[in-house]
Structure 1
Amino acid sequence: MKILAPCQLPAMNYKQLTFNCKLLTALCLLLTVACTRPSPPVYSGQKMRGVNLVAPSQPIDTAVFRPILNINAEWVAVVPYGFCREGEPHFYFHTNKMWWGETKEGTAKTIELAHQSGLKVMLKPHAWVGRGGYTGDFDLKTEADWLMFEKDFGDYVLANARIADSTKAELFCIATEMDNFARKRAPFWRALIKQVREIYHGPLTYADNWNHYPRNPFWADLDYVGVDAYFPLSSEKHPSVETLQKGWKLHLDELEDFAAKVQKPILFTEFGYRSVDFATEKPWESNDTKAENMALQADAYRAFFKEVWPRKWLVGAFAWKWFLHQPRNFHRDAFSPQEKPAEGVLKEGYGQK
Structure 2
Amino acid sequence: MVSYAKSIGLQVILKPMLNVSDGTWRAHINFFDHDVPCEPKWSDWFKAYTEFIVYYAKLAEESQSDMFVIGCEMVNTDRREQEWRDLIKEVRSHYSGPITYNCDKYQEDHVTWWDAVDVISSSAYYPIHTWDEQLPRIEKVVKEHNKPFFFCEAGCPSREGSKLLPNDWALKGQIDLSEQEDWYRNMFKHTSKEPWIQGFGLWDWKALLYPIDKAEHDTDYALYGKPAEKVVFDYYTSVEREAKSVS
Q: TM-score, normalised by structure 2?
A: 0.88
Letter of the aligned partner of 1:132 in structure 2?
A: G
Moved over 4 A (4+): 326-331
Pairing 1:345–2:236 present: no
Deviations 1:295-333 (A, max 9, x none): 121121111222113411112111001112255555435
Q: What is the rounded CA distance, in whole Å, between the counterparts of 1:126 and 1:231 in structure 2?
A: 21
Q: 1: CA distance between counterparts of 2:218 and 2:189?
A: 28
The residue number in structure 2 matching 1:173 is: 69
1:1-353 to 2 correspondences below 5 Å? 110-141=1-32, 143=35, 145-183=41-79, 185-234=80-129, 247-325=130-208, 328=211, 331-351=217-237, 352-353=239-240
The superposition leaves residues 66-111 of structure 1 with CA deviations (integer Å, 9 ceiling, x where unpaired) of: xxxxxxxxxxxxxxxxxxxxxxxxxxxxxxxxxxxxxxxxxxxx21
Distance 1:226 1:277 in 2: 28
1:194-216, Cα deviation, whole Å (9 max, x unpaired) = 11111111111110001112111
**Larger Rg: 1 or 2?**
1
AA paired with 1:122?
A: I
Deviations 1:97-126 (A, max 9, x none): xxxxxxxxxxxxx21121122211101111
Q: Secondary structure at the match of 2:172?
A: coil
Cα RMSD (Å) of the superposition?
1.7
SS at match of 1:281: coil
SS in structure 1 at match of 2:150: strand
Q: Distance in 2 between matches of 1:310 and 1:327?
A: 34
- Tell me: higher relative CO, structure 1 or 2? Use CA pairs within 8 A at least 6 residues apart: 1
Q: 1:202 to 1:301 in 2, by over 3 A?
A: same
> Deviation digits for residues 21-62 of structure 1, max 9, x if unmatched?
xxxxxxxxxxxxxxxxxxxxxxxxxxxxxxxxxxxxxxxxxx
Structure 2 stretches of 5 or more lacking a match? 241-247
Question: What is the number of residues matched between the two proteins?
Answer: 231
SS where residue 284 of structure 1 aligns? coil
* In 2, Cα distance between equivalents of 1:140 and 1:258: 27
Identical-pair percentage? 28
Give the drift of 1:130. 3.3
Q: Secondary structure at the match of 1:199?
A: coil
